[in-house]
Amino acid sequence: MNRPLAPNDTSSFWMPFTPNRDFASDPRLITAADGMYYTSHDGRQIMDATAGLWCVNAGHNAPRIVEAVQKQVATLDYAPHFNFGTPQAYELSSRLASMFPDGMDHVFFTNSGSESVDTALKIALHYHRMRGDAARTRLIGRERGYHGVGFGGISVGGIVKNRMHFGTMLTGVDHIRHTHDPERNAFSRGCPEHGAELADDLIRIAELHDPSTIAAVIVEPMAGSTGVLLPPKGYLQRLREICDRYGILLIFDEVITAYGRLGRASASEYFGVKPDIITTAKGLTNGVIPMGAVIVDSRIYNSAMGNADAPIELFHGYTYSAHPIAVAAALASLDTYREEDLFARADGLAKRWEDAVHGLKGLPHVKDLRNLGLVGAIELESRPGAPGARATEAMKEAWRQGLMIRVTGDTIAMSPPLIITEAEIETLFSKLAGILKGID
């Protein structure tokens, strides 16, 4: 209260997933954005090679979205959706239902990927209970999985640092093995050949706990935050078969893969595997307004409607579920994706992108290269005793050279807006090559 205000004081903002003290010593500040580029506080253009945090699929300042948000805020700034409705929220849900696999016809709105995950886990538990199968309470995640930061998400998540400081989390959770197998799969183009059998780890877990106690398994069809891990060929299909065999719901966490990242509306469509629940966020609104959506199979929704023991069928929701401004941003984002044919554009660029990613083979410290759709990853050898240091240095140098990349551990991840041009792909990778050559 008595602290003097300083205009450029960085100490009050506790920054998310950031080494705060290190950042304060040399901040990277962004003041504007347009298309593929950010403007830094010192007036430089920075190419956004990560679509923000995997969300700005149509590029920054997409005119339709900007206009829709401006118009909406001046028309209906907020309305609750507990016992009231807004026409656009119905429109958005039917449009989403038509984008996702057949039969996934119902949508629950949230405000983030983390909330989508917690919502999906709750819907799965609720579904079994409504069917009178109340013993199905266990939730299964996967090692190295990232499902946001809610207690549900970190419980099923498998990134150790995200879990270790936060107590016991949810009980009754277990994890299947991750699929990363560099010995057999390093430098694979697209999905790796080896590892479909890793899905059978779900059989081990099911038999350990008794399958009739398991409610759901949640995986990212393509894992991003753990350093871009692609599903081995046939893995997701096998997971689906095992879930069917045991009556386990399959949840695909598509927070980064939905809305065009793999050149399709969803990874479910890309891989031809239909889960029971899909979690989304990010690209839903092009990152402009926070929003998430959980897409649910009709049989789950109908079970809730038919079996509820109270007029309210699901005791769950957020003050900002279907927030009118988020809905407006989402509708305009879907319009933009369609009008600019951005999913097909991403698909068309995927081969060029793959060649560019794998063109980095042989550069210093490069241990593995991975790609799918418009996603690329460069895994670097770690410095002895300093995991993550080399990639972090690359990220800082990239910023100095006008490039935003993302790092997790010693993996550099790239996921540009789907509007990237071939010339920009060239620039991005030649800069990256220079950066890799320059770090020790």
Ligand X SMILES: Cc1ncc(COP(=O)(O)O)c(C=O)c1O
Site of interaction with ligand X (CB under 6 A): 112-114, 117, 146-148, 220, 224-225, 253, 255-256, 281
Quickly tell me which residue has 């991403």 as its tokens. Answer: 346
29 φ, ψ (degrees, to nearest 5): -105, 140
Residue type, 247: G
Minimum CB separation of residue 5 from ligand X in Å reads 30
SS3 276: coil
Please identify, using beta-carbon distances, which residue of 58 and 375 lies nearer to ligand X: 375
Q: Which two three-digit tokens encode residue 169?
A: 């989390």
Minimum CB separation of residue 206 from ligand X in Å reads 23
Please identify, using beta-carbon distances, which residue of 156 and 304 lies nearer to ligand X: 156
What are the counts of helices (DSSP H) followed by strands (DSSP E) for the chain?
16, 15
Please identify, using beta-carbon distances, which residue of 303 and 408 lies nearer to ligand X: 408
Q: Which two three-digit tokens encode residue 25?
A: 């010593």
Q: Which two three-digit tokens encode residue 391?
A: 């990639």
Minimum CB separation of residue 245 from ligand X in Å reads 26
Report the phi/psi class of residue 435: left, alpha or beta, with left for phi > 0 and alpha for psi in -120 to 50. Answer: alpha
SS3 85: coil
Minimum CB separation of residue 132 from ligand X in Å reads 31
Q: Which two three-digit tokens encode residue 20?
A: 């705060």
Minimum CB separation of residue 222 from ligand X in Å reads 9
Minimum CB separation of residue 342 from ligand X in Å reads 20
Nearest-CB residue for ligand X: 113
Report the run of H or E that residue 293 belongs to, with start and end. strand 292-296
Please identify, using beta-carbon distances, which residue of 56 and 130 lies nearer to ligand X: 56
The torsion defined by the Cα of 13, 18, 24 and 30, in degrees rounded to 10, comes to -80
Residue type, 391: A
Residue type, 389: A
**How far apart (Å, rounded) are the C-alpha atoms in residues 117 and 136?**
18
Please identify, using beta-carbon distances, which residue of 253 and 379 lies nearer to ligand X: 253
Please identify, using beta-carbon distances, which residue of 90 and 166 lies nearer to ligand X: 166
**Rg of the chain, C-alpha, whole Å:** 22
Please identify, using beta-carbon distances, which residue of 281 and 332 lies nearer to ligand X: 281
Please identify, using beta-carbon distances, which residue of 125 and 267 lies nearer to ligand X: 267
**Are 300 and 308 contacting, i.e. CB atoms less than 8 angstroms apart?**
no
Minimum CB separation of residue 72 from ligand X in Å reads 21
Q: Which two three-digit tokens encode residue 414?
A: 């790239």
Q: Give me the DSSP letters along 352-412.
A: HHHHHHHTTTTSTTEEEEEEETTEEEEEEPPBTTBTTHHHHHHHHHHHHTTEE-EEETTEE
Residue 98, CA distances (Å) to 253, 272, 281, 295 in order = 18, 16, 17, 11
Minimum CB separation of residue 116 from ligand X in Å reads 7
Please identify, using beta-carbon distances, which residue of 199 and 255 lies nearer to ligand X: 255
Minimum CB separation of residue 273 from ligand X in Å reads 16
